[in-house]
């Protein structure tokens, strides 16, 4: 039997970031991951995430940003438009006096950089290939029975084990969920025209297609969300026919496209845990909420969860030494639930706002978008949301001082 202060289950972006945030506090931390340890290697961009300024600041503070940015593509413009209409919205970094609106980062590269940094902390023990068979709680401890037969006790257990969280399900924490009736097709395509550091998204009545710029100026990662049957058909098409379909759906904005990777198909579900805390167990990131990728916010939201949790743990350690779970976790839950709810609502409004092809709503949407595009004051709240600058940010993700983002590389 082993004992530690905090066990984190799941070494995705959220679990690794939390471990790294907590490491300097001198606590004994264990990070359990059922998969293999992240391996060094060049980014292949098979799965990418658009990280916003708030995440950038957090990761920079942890000393991992330069490594992530070295393999990422900054984007200076965002263009959002409605297919077959005149509705269009544009955002630019120059307008905001920023060097970039965000970065398209390779998911594996994010994990690899975090893990490499974490290996320098001897108080954090990482156990890879470690599945869990059982969880139980007493007044003082949470007990985890590993598949290997080992028993681990800890004062606090953090579930960072993703959208299908084993911990959330084992504790039967209530979950609100619905099927978005979309599967996301993810692939890399080579373009004829350079992407010009612009993240693009075109909304069709049956779902959005995002074209995310990669470091190669003629390559984009696409996230194409369509109804499940259509996604299956598109995935089964020969490569050339698929590329033609993406070219048509992108309205040839980058000229003819060519498929240069495998296609992945990911079913999309909204999940929101109604209860994030039970005793000494707390949910973070995708274990607590998973949202539609149309605005590229899921990972950003999860990183803010762990930054908030680490901030509260650190504050409490300074004030009273020990971790007082009920008070601490109740504060965390209040704080982060309201942030997640706001984002889920915004995503739903977006998704429903663009669904359906009826003529009148389409014309109204087009007029609305065109008016909005001309009103920089009205665009500002949308911009703040996209940059991650809205809501109650954890300290580690706030700008050091007004204007300090202008110096970001």
Q: Does the protein bind ligand FAD through residue 214 (CB under 6 A)?
A: no
| Contact status: 198 vs ligand FAD (CB under 6 A) | no
Q: Which of 12, 87, 388, 394 binds ligand FAD (CB under 6 A)?
A: 12
For ligand FAD, give the closer residue by CB, 182 or 362: 182
Contacts to ligand FAD from residues 113-132, by CB under 6 A: 131-132
x/- map, 316-345, ligand FAD, by CB under 6 A = ------------------------------
In this complex, which beta carbon is closest to ligand FAD, that of residue 166 or of residue 276? 166
Task: Report the alpha-carbon distance of residue 115 to residue 117 in Å, rounded.
Answer: 5
Binders of ligand FAD in range 46-65 (CB under 6 A): 49-50
Give the shortest CB-198-to-ligand FAD separation in angstroms.
Answer: 15
Binding mask 284-303 for ligand FAD (x = CB under 6 A): -xx------x--xxxxx-x-
Q: Which of 5, 6, 8, 9 binds ligand FAD (CB under 6 A)?
A: 9
Which C-beta is closer to ligand FAD: that of 329 or that of 343? 343
Q: For ligand FAD, which stretch binds (CB under 6 A), given 87-95, 159-167, 340-348, 353-361?
A: 159-167
Please, what is the minimum distance in Å from the beta carbon of residue 318 to ligand FAD? 27
| Structural contact between residues 40 and 163, judged by C-beta atoms closer than 8 angstroms | no
Q: Does 186 bind ligand FAD (CB under 6 A)?
A: yes
- Asked whether position 68 contacts ligand FAD by CB under 6 A, the answer is no
Taking the complex as a whole, the smallest distance from the CB of residue 320 to ligand FAD amounts, in Å, to 29
- 208 is an interface residue for ligand FAD by CB under 6 A: no
CB 388 within 8 A of CB 397: yes
Determine which residue in the list 223, 277, 340, 383 makes contact with ligand FAD, applying CB under 6 A.
223
Q: How far is residue 342's CA from residue 340's CA, in Å, rounded to a whole number?
A: 5
Q: Which is nearer to ligand FAD, 132 or 254 (CB)?
A: 132
**Per-residue binder mask for ligand FAD (CB under 6 A), 241-280, x = binder:** -------------------------x--------------
41: left (phi over 0), alpha (psi -120 to 50) or beta: left
Q: Which of 6, 19, 32, 277 binds ligand FAD (CB under 6 A)?
A: 32
3-state secondary structure string, the chain?
A: CEEEEEEEECCCHHHHHHHHHHHHHCCCEEEEECCCCCCCCCCCCCCEEEECHHHHHHHHHCCCHHHHHCCCEEECEEEEEECCCCCEEEEECCCCCCCCCEEEEEHHHHHHHHHHHHCCCCCEEEEECCCEEEEEECCCCEEEEECCCCEEEEEEEEECCCCCCHHHHHCCCCEEEEEEEEEEEEEEEEECCCCCCEEEEEEECCEEEEEEECCCCCEEEEEEEECHHHHHHHHHCCHHHHHHHHHHHCCCCCCCEEECCCCEEEEEEEEEECCCEECCEEECHHHCEECCHHHCCHHHHHHHHHHHHHHHHHHHHHHHCCCCHHHHHHHHHHHHHHHHHHHHHHHHHHHHHHCCCCHHHHHHHHHHHHHHHHCHHHHHHHHHHHHCCCCCCCHHHCCCCCCHHHHCC
Q: Which of 14, 273, 328, 343 binds ligand FAD (CB under 6 A)?
A: 14
Our CB check for ligand FAD shows the closer of 106 and 405 to be 106
Which CB, 160 or 369, lies closer to ligand FAD?
160
In the complex, least distance from residue 58 CB atom to ligand FAD, rounded to whole angstroms: 12
CA-wise closest residue to 69 among 28, 109, 9? 109
Tell me the closest approach of the beta carbon of residue 332 to ligand FAD, in angstroms. 15
One residue of 8, 10, 180, 204 binding ligand FAD per CB under 6 A? 10
> Which residues of this chain interact with ligand FAD, rule CB under 6 A?
9-15, 32-35, 49-50, 131-132, 160-162, 166, 184, 186, 223, 266, 285-286, 293, 296-300, 302
């Amino acid at each position: 039997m082993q004992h530690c202060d905090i066990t984190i289950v799941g070494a995705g972006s959220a679990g690794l970031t939390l471990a790294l945030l907590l490491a300097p506090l001198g606590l004994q931390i264990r990070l359990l991951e059922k998969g293999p340890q992240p391996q060094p290697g060049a980014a292949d961009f098979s799965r990418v995430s658009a990280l916003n300024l708030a995440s950038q600041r957090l990761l920079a503070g942890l000393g991992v940003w330069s490594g992530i940015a070295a393999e990422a593509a900054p984007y200076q413009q965002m263009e959002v438009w409605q297919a077959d209409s005149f509705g269009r919205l544009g955002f630019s970094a120059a307008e905001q006096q920023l060097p970039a609106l965000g970065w398209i980062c390779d998911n594996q590269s994010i994990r690899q950089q975090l893990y490499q940094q974490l290996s320098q902390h001897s108080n954090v023990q990482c156990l890879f290939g470690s599945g869990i068979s059982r969880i139980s709680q007493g007044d003082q401890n949470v007990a985890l029975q590993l598949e290997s037969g080992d028993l681990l006790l800890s004062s606090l257990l953090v579930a960072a084990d993703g959208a299908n969280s084993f911990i959330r399900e084992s504790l039967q924490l209530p979950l609100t969920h619905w099927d978005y009736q979309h599967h996301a097709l993810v692939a890399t395509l080579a373009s004829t025209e350079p992407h010009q550091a612009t993240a693009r998204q075109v909304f069709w009545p049956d779902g959005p297609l995002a074209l995310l710029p990669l470091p190669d100026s003629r390559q984009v990662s696409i996230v194409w969300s369509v109804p499940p049957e259509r996604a299956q058909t598109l995935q089964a098409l020969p490569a050339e026919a698929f590329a033609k379909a993406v070219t048509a759906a992108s309205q040839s904005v980058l000229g003819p496209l060519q498929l240069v990777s495998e296609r992945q198909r990911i079913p999309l579900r909204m999940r929101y845990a109604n209860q994030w805390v039970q005793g000494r167990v707390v949910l973070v990131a995708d274990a607590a909420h998973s949202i539609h990728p149309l605005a590229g916010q899921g990972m950003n939201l999860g990183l803010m969860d762990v930054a908030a949790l680490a901030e509260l743990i650190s504050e409490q350690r300074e004030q009273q030494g020990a971790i007082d779970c009920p008070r601490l976790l109740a504060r965390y839950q209040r704080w982060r639930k309201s942030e997640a709810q706001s984002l889920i609502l915004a995503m739903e409004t977006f998704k429903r706002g663009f669904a359906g092809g009826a003529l009148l709503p389409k014309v109204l949407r087009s007029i609305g978008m065109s008016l909005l595009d001309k009103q920089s004051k009205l665009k500002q709240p949308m911009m703040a949301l996209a940059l991650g600058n809205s809501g109650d940010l954890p300290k580690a993700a706030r700008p050091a001082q007004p204007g300090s983002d202008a110096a970001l590389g």
